[in-house]
């Protein structure tokens, strides 16, 4: 019998992984990562990857298996997780999917627009162009090629501005054209249960602040120092992970340790705010919401049928 997928989702630092382990022990299930940064091999501490002890206790998938030199994306993740889900389904094993990257969950369940993969050379070209002409002139260029897509984003979102330009530069079709095209669907006739945890924001912020200090105490500075020796392109996702730019600035003398910690906490809190907004405005179906931390929930309230 194929078991329903179980999703444990919500903002960072709320204790999703601990609940996932508890459920996996109870249901004899396996845990699958749905966090876009925890996939990377080169960051362990700063991404709060599950401990080696936890990974020995329960089978974990898609954690720390991608080298930081690779620009991993949602399409790759959807294909990778789909393969694991199929194997677990054949064995009659629960797949417990845990993470805070809402886009990953949304695309797995609702399908992915089939946009061709943009080469690294085009990405670097857009980065260089933006630096050369400035954001206002870049916005004008984007407006001329795809005004519909431009109107859907913040004009200060340089990543999305570049994305619109890159898609047109490489495919000679607008991003809006691709978004209106037929989706690639990954799951068919697959039941799932989606549990969303959105505790009080101030309480999450307190956890974020303390967790960043704990990460520093646990060796995050040495982790970033080692990462920087690999000389990865600064535009790669791993180099923009929360804490990496801030600790890098400390290591090269651009910030004090106190400033590094303050900024690292701040960018993570800002991320929590964006996550809460995304999940609370999500159009995902079968969403059961809790305004508590996962540790405060009686697992009997979660229905596994």
Contact 271, 12 (CB under 8 A): yes
Instruction: Name 130's Cβ contacts closer than 8 Å, sequence gap at least 6.
Output: 138, 158, 161, 162
**157 & 105 share domain:** no
**72 & 190 share domain:** yes
Of 138, 155, 181, the residue that ends a domain is: 181
Condensed to tens digits (0 to 9), the pLDDT of residues 48-91 reads 999 999 999 999 999 999 999 999 999 999 999 999 999 999 99
The domain tally of the chain equals 2
Share of the chain above pLDDT 70, in %: 99
DSSP run (H or E) holding 134: helix 120-145
- DSSP labels for 35-53? -TTTTBTT-STTTTPPPHH
**267 & 148 share domain:** no
pLDDT score, position 304: 59
Angle between helices 201-217 and 220-228 (to 10 degrees): 70
The pTM for the full model equals 0.83
CATH of the domain at 130: 1.10.20.140
Condensed to tens digits (0 to 9), the pLDDT of residues 134-187 reads 999 999 999 999 999 999 888 888 888 999 999 999 999 999 898 887 688 898
Range of the domain at 31: 5-113+186-301
Share of the chain above pLDDT 90, in %: 82
- The dihedral built from the CA positions of residue 31, 46, 79 and 9, taken in this order, carries a sign that is positive
Mean pLDDT over the full length of the chain: 94
């Amino acid at each position: 019998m194929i078991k329903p997928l179980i999703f444990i989702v919500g903002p960072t630092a709320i204790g999703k992984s601990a609940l996932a382990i508890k459920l996996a022990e109870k249901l004899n299930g396996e845990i699958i990562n749905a966090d876009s940064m925890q996939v990377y091999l080169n960051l362990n501490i700063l991404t709060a990857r599950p401990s080696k002890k936890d990974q020995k206790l329960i089978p974990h998938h898609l954690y720390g298996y991608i080298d930081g030199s690779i620009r991993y994306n949602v399409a790759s993740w959807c294909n990778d997780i789909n393969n694991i889900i199929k194997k677990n389904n054949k064995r009659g094993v629960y797949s417990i999917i845990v993470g805070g990257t809402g886009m990953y969950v949304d695309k797995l369940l609702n399908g992915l627009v089939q946009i061709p993969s943009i080469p690294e050379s085009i990405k670097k070209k857009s980065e260089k162009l933006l630096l050369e002409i400035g954001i206002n002139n870049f916005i004008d260029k984007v407006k001329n090629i795809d005004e519909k897509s431009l109107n859907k984003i913040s004009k200060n979102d340089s990543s999305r501005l570049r994305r619109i330009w890159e898609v047109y530069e490489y495919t000679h079709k607008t991003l809006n054209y691709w978004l209106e095209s037929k989706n690639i669907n990954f799951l068919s006739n697959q039941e799932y249960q989606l549990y969303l945890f959105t505790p009080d924001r101030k309480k999450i912020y307190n956890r974020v602040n303390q967790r960043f200090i704990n990460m520093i105490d646990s060796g995050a500075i040495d982790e970033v120092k080692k990462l920087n020796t690999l000389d990865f392109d600064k535009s790669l996702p791993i180099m923009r992970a929360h804490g990496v730019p801030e600790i890098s600035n400390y290591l090269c003398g651009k910030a004090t340790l106190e400033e590094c910690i303050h900024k690292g906490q701040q960018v993570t809190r800002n991320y929590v705010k964006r996550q809460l907004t995304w999940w609370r405005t999500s159009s995902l179906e079968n969403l059961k919401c809790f305004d508590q931390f996962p540790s405060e929930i009686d697992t009997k309230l979660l229905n596994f049928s």
